[in-house]
């Protein structure tokens, strides 16, 4: 089941939940669904749980909890990451002749700074949904055996740390919250000295 080509969202869902226009060719979007799933979603779930959801979709045997988790947390998060990954390429076409930029007589192409700004906004929203997904797994991951008891040999164990971009300001009286999530390198470490996971990590 590990090599199954399964999409957790359709291109219809993607367009309904992002600002991608209806006239964008579905064939341009599908590769980015697989890319975003394999990178952002697999990293959050771990390979074992990720493969369980893929097989559950294929065999139509998801539990109610798995189905709710997929619909309420995975799909909204995935849609934004697909949009983020696809965004720089929506205006380009790769052929055996060249990489060409598509244009329309009724539209004005955006400059690079505008594209960077908008893509950062998409990333911020995707990270919000990822943090929300991680917080749910921190609190309720015990409900999913494949997440709670991963295969020790899986190639990508679950990572419940939300990546951080921006300025970090320490809280006042930090020593009063010794077990609170701490900022380590480029991410939050949500596991305190008690070994528990703080909500919202």
**Per residue of the chain (201 residues), what is the pLDDT tens digit?**
557 789 999 999 999 999 999 999 999 999 999 999 999 999 999 999 999 999 999 999 999 999 999 999 999 999 999 999 999 888 766 655 544 455 555 555 666 778 889 999 999 999 999 999 999 999 999 999 999 887 776 666 666 554 444 444 444 444 433 444 443 444 444 444 333 443 334
> Is-contact 45 78, C-beta < 8 A?
no
Instruction: Specify the pLDDT at position 174.
Output: 43
* Residue indicated by tokens 């400059």: 111
d(CA 188, CA 164): 7
| pTM recorded for the entire structure | 0.73
**pLDDT at position 115:** 84
| Tokens found for residue 22 | 């209806």
**What letter would DSSP give residue 16?**
H
Q: What's residue 157's pLDDT? A: 66
Which residue ranges make up each domain of the chain?
11-159, 161-201
φ, ψ of residue 12 in degrees (nearest 5): -65, -45
pLDDT value for 173? 45
Q: Which pLDDT value is given to residue 188?
A: 41
- Given a contact cutoff of 8 angstroms between Cβ atoms, the answer to whether 182 and 189 are in contact is yes
């Amino acid at each position: 089941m590990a090599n199954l080509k399964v999409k957790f969202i359709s291109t219809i869902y993607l367009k309904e939940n992002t600002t991608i226009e209806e006239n964008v060719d579905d064939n341009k979007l599908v590769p980015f669904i697989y890319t975003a799933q394999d990178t952002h979603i697999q990293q959050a779930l771990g390979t074992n749980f990720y493969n369980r959801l893929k097989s559950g979709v294929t065999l139509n045997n998801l539990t109610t909890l798995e189905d709710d988790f997929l619909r309420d947390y995975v799909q909204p998060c995935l849609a934004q990451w697909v949009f983020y990954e696809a965004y720089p390429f929506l205006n380009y076409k790769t052929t055996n002749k060249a990489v060409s930029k598509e244009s329309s007589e009724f539209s004005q192409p955006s400059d690079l700074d505008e594209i960077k700004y908008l893509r950062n906004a998409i990333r911020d929203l995707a990270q919000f949904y990822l943090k929300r997904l991680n917080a749910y797994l921190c609190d309720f991951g015990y409900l999913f055996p494949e997440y709670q008891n991963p295969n020790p040999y899986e190639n990508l164990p679950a990572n419940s740390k939300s990546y951080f971009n921006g300025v970090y300001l320490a809280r006042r009286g930090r020593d009063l919250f010794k077990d609170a999530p701490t900022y380590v390198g480029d991410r939050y470490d949500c596991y305190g000295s008690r070994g528990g996971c703080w909500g919202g990590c």
